[in-house]
Structure 1
């Protein structure tokens, strides 16, 4: 009887996530052509008009259904990281588009701005996600104390913040971040904490066609919220070594992104190239 109950506990939040995302996307479509939707309009890499309102649609639906499906001890943390990451990501989507923020991109750009006495929108986002990740570490900590508890807190904070940032770095082509997020969520459905990502998986799959069709973009709001929830699921892995390895990989990829173009690597790698292009409109 365990397997059917487990299957149902994963299916219901996934369906709820998909349904919530469809409702949120309908609201985004209704706003796109109105004055309220103007700040969210962008031109994508191919010169096509899109809206960043896909991000709030995903952030809201993924966060709400992550809380629905998460284990009891993780629900508050899921609400915090999904909500805060979505909010500060949305702030960066809007404030970061201002002309004076154009140079403040990437870690190097945020640091340059701080040295010049300016606080970039990206720096606000990094601080907000970092703070939310630290709160999540406190909310999910065991009763233990000492060095082990400190290490676990650092790992949780790093995994939540790092995964949020890494998924956002992938949001450079239609569907790329959503595909990676969906694959990551699908592979993490097992175990006691798997319900945490079942709702976000359904929400991401529901948003993916609009993303691939270049009608919406996830932007910082959607990618950061989804990434933070995936990071929280990684932090729930029982073995400390596995969590440390995951954080090392995420950190390495993030640092590499400052020097290496993910798009160039993907385009040069058979298999990754075809997966990245799957379902996308021709350029």
Structure 2
């Protein structure tokens, strides 16, 4: 594929009718994966694999749409296609990301209790999906990821050999999300690029894994419950509509964004 063809393949039209590129998301995956090596090779492999699953969805789904083939939306749609015997890229993500996150939890430093492994994998996989669900407007996903990553990177690591190894890897993963996210923010807000599934999944997985390793058990359980509740709600409720109806959220969401050429709709 030539450079021009690749640029065209990565171009998308965003909600405001402007042309953006998914190259931002691909770069974020690469940078986050590389920086995750500070946490460990296993973590870098997990983040890279989750980002690759998102990139496959970014590239294959539009091709199917251009070819006039059916394209499912939402978790329910992808799982429905799977029950009918067709594996969509969304279904591959719905299965693959939790499996990869589970492997990451199993290989993480610290104790390996079954319930803890399930919670940690759920937080990592759920965060990857939730950040992707937020990536419907410029900067929205990054405005959720960056404050969380700052907090998770800044909190001092608690003493104790096993605890220190686990929390240090979590802090490294938070930085692995923070630095590429900050770098991507101007292009995202300027509507020159977008995270896409690839970048959103990678940043969400890195931040979620960092939270799983840095938070105490009760906070992790509460976080997972919140992620599950928001994910379930997304099947029924438009996040954009809720944000637009809530003044404080609307101000945060629109901060730094370019003015709309037309009235904004919701989706």
Range of TM-score over shorter length: 0.7 to 0.9
Residue aligning to 1:84: 49
Structure 1 regions of 5+ residues with no counterpart? Answer: 1-29
TM normalised by structure 2 equals: 0.86
Is residue 130 of structure 2 the alignment partner of residue 130 of structure 1? no
Which residue of 123, 127, 139 corresponds with 1:163?
127
1:215-269: per-residue Cα shift (whole Å, max 9, x none)? 1010000000000001111110352211111100000000000001100111111
Q: Tell me if the contact between 1:81 and 1:225 (Cα under 8 Å) persists in the aligned partners.
A: no
Residue aligning to 2:201: 224
TM normalised by structure 1 equals: 0.81
Q: Tell me if the contact between 1:58 and 1:203 (Cα under 8 Å) persists in the aligned partners.
A: yes
Structure 1 residue matching 2:256: 3-state secondary structure:
coil
Per the TM alignment, residue 104 of structure 1 is displaced from its structure 2 partner at its CA by 1.0
Which residue of 184, 203, 206 corresponds with 2:148?
184
Which residue of 119, 130, 136 corresponds with 2:87?
119
Which residue of 255, 268, 271 corresponds with 2:232?
255
Residue aligning to 1:41: 11
Structure 1 residue matching 2:12: 3-state secondary structure:
strand
The runs of 4+ residues in structure 1 deviating greater than 3 Å are 100-103, 141-144
Q: Tell me if the contact between 1:66 and 1:199 (Cα under 8 Å) persists in the aligned partners.
A: yes
Structure 2 residue matching 1:194: 3-state secondary structure:
helix
RMSD of the TM alignment (CA)? 1.7
Q: Distance in 2 between matches of 1:111 and 1:126?
A: 8
User: How many residue pairs were aligned?
Assistant: 243
Per the TM alignment, residue 96 of structure 1 is displaced from its structure 2 partner at its CA by 1.5
Which residue of 211, 216, 230 corresponds with 1:239?
216
Structure 2 regions of 5+ residues with no counterpart? Answer: 158-169, 261-267
Q: Distance in 2 between matches of 1:157 and 1:116?
A: 27
1:163-217: per-residue Cα shift (whole Å, max 9, x none)? 0000000000011111111111112121333232123212111111001111101
Q: Distance in 2 between matches of 1:101 and 1:164?
A: 27
